[in-house]
Amino acid sequence: MEISDLVSLEAIDPHLKASSKKQALQELAEQAAQIVGQPERAIFDVLLERERLGTTGVGQGVAIPHGRLPNLDRLYGFFARLDTPIDFDAIDEQPVDLIFLLLAPESAGADHLKALAKVSRLLRNKPVCDKIRGSDNADAIYALLIEPAASHAA
């Protein structure tokens, strides 16, 4: 599974406007609903439920909110870069400006975990994150996200 299997150019928001974690999740749920054909509220509720279990702010300005939904046909990824970092209750207590949302079918099982691991590895790569932070259009960010894994080697 590659990042390109998860995210499409239409699922990139290079200028997400949000002033809080809840607002960011709401905005992402709205965008995701248009692509996956699921109700915005259902997506938002799944994301909030997951955040109640523990933050998905993984550190270094990155958050990977995720959840499982019935009736999804495959895994979906959505990426947003915030112009202004927000408090996301991240484990390192640093504000978040890069968010990769992952939605999976309820039956995804190991594929959901593999996708989370893939996204996490990608966004732990500081040079990649620095390039994404320096990009302000969806095409450039998409290209950085889907670059072959070899180019992300540390």
CA 152 to CA 78: how far, in whole Å?
20
What is the rounded end-to-end Cα distance, in angstroms, of the chain?
20
Q: Pairing relation of β-strands 96-105 and 62-63?
A: parallel
Residue 66 is among the residues annotated as catalytic for this protein = yes
What the block records as the tokens of 154 is 């540390």
111 and 1 Cβ atoms separated by less than 8 Å = yes
Which is the catalytic residue, given 15, 66, 112, 152? 66
95 and 86 Cβ atoms separated by less than 8 Å = yes
CA 154 to CA 72: how far, in whole Å?
34
Among residues 55, 79, 60, the alpha carbon closest in space to that of 124 is found at 60
Catalytic machinery residues: 66
